[in-house]
Chain A
Amino acid sequence: MVSDLAVQEVVLTWAKSDRQAENLRSDLQILIESEPLEDGIRHPLEKRLCDELSDNPGAAPEVIQKIFHDWRERPSYASALLRGIGRCDASLVGRWGLDLASNALCHRDVEVRDAAVSALELWGGDQARQSLQECMKDEPVPYLARYMKQVVEDLSE
């Protein structure tokens, strides 16, 4: 039989993780609104994400994916988040990040697809190349199709 104390502890843990998730979501939103993400220029969002992934490797991936999912109809936020994730080291992001970016290659919004290509380019590797290769023939926006093709070539070298 589970003691009252154990139940209380579980509830407290949930409450704490909910609070952490809300804090992260709020911080990310403020950082995204503070200044646009620019190619080649570091953005405070990436430090916040990388710190979260380093400090909470167990919970952070799920929370970040949930935020991305919640923002899927807000492409400016979703793309900024994905660009920030893409700027974290591949070892910190791991498989879930690759899957998230690979799936985002099919997103209806070009900004999110662009962010996905950038993330895959920065992480590199076989899975990134394969995902890009599979999606590039269906990419309707010419510049993005060219960029995908170039990244596939780069990652094949």
Chain B
Amino acid sequence: MESLARKFTPAKWTADKIPDGETISADAVTADLRTTNNALSTWACTADETDVKEVALAFASTINRPDKICLILLSRLELEGFGIQVVRTPGDTKVLDLIPRHHDLIELGLVRLGRLAESIANQARQDKLCYIFSKEQFCKIVCEAINRKRLNLEELQDDFKNEIRRKLSEIALSD
């Protein structure tokens, strides 16, 4: 079944923060569900971890410092059941083969955004389809993509580029 992955901050959505049946905190919504033009960005993928890593890779060119990355996979069917429209739009990534994976959730009003938030909270509460890649894991994903010529080091930003350059040198030395 097709899922749509979104970057999120799990600490704001855990059962500690949002016990079952209680109100979702506005902090969680304003941190992770900030819309632009009433739309939210997501990436199509399956629940296979290798595929989720592809989505993580899509973010490589938009981040500017080495860090962990957390993703939650949402059911496209469930979202459409909430009346949320899902449209394919070009993704903001330098990994060319990942561009078509990008989808926007569009025309999000308060009610639909609320349903989306409840869906995220339900999953996060059960730790369902939540993926976290440590800084080291994320850097390895990116290094591998560079070595396979799917991504150019020079297209990365600032501190993240420096970190990846250092990791690539370490890999080259160990080979």
Residues of A at the B interface (CB closer than 8 Å) are 36, 38-42, 76, 79, 87, 109-111, 113-115, 118, 121-122, 141-144, 146-147, 150-151, 154, 157
Contact = CB atoms under 8 A, between A and B. Distances in A.
Nearest to B159: A42
Contact of A143 (B14, B27, B65): B14
B58 interface: no
Given A110-B11, A110-B17, A144-B11, A40 B134 contact: no
B23 interface: no
Given A118-B67, A118-B68, A146 B132 contact: yes
B31 A40 contact: no
Nearest to B157: A42
B12 A111 contact: yes
21 contacts: A36-B9, A36-B30, A38-B7, A38-B31, A39-B7, A39-B67, A39-B68, A40-B59, A42-B159, A79-B11, A109-B16, A113-B11, A114-B10, A121-B135, A141-B14, A141-B16, A143-B132, A144-B10, A144-B11, A150-B132, A151-B134
Interface of B: 7, 9-12, 14-17, 27, 30-31, 59, 63-70, 127, 130, 132, 134-137, 158-160
A154 B167 CA distance: 13
Contact of B64 (A41, A115, A142): A41
A13 B59 CA distance: 48
A39 B137 contact: no
B13 to A, nearest CB: 10
A154 B140 CA distance: 11
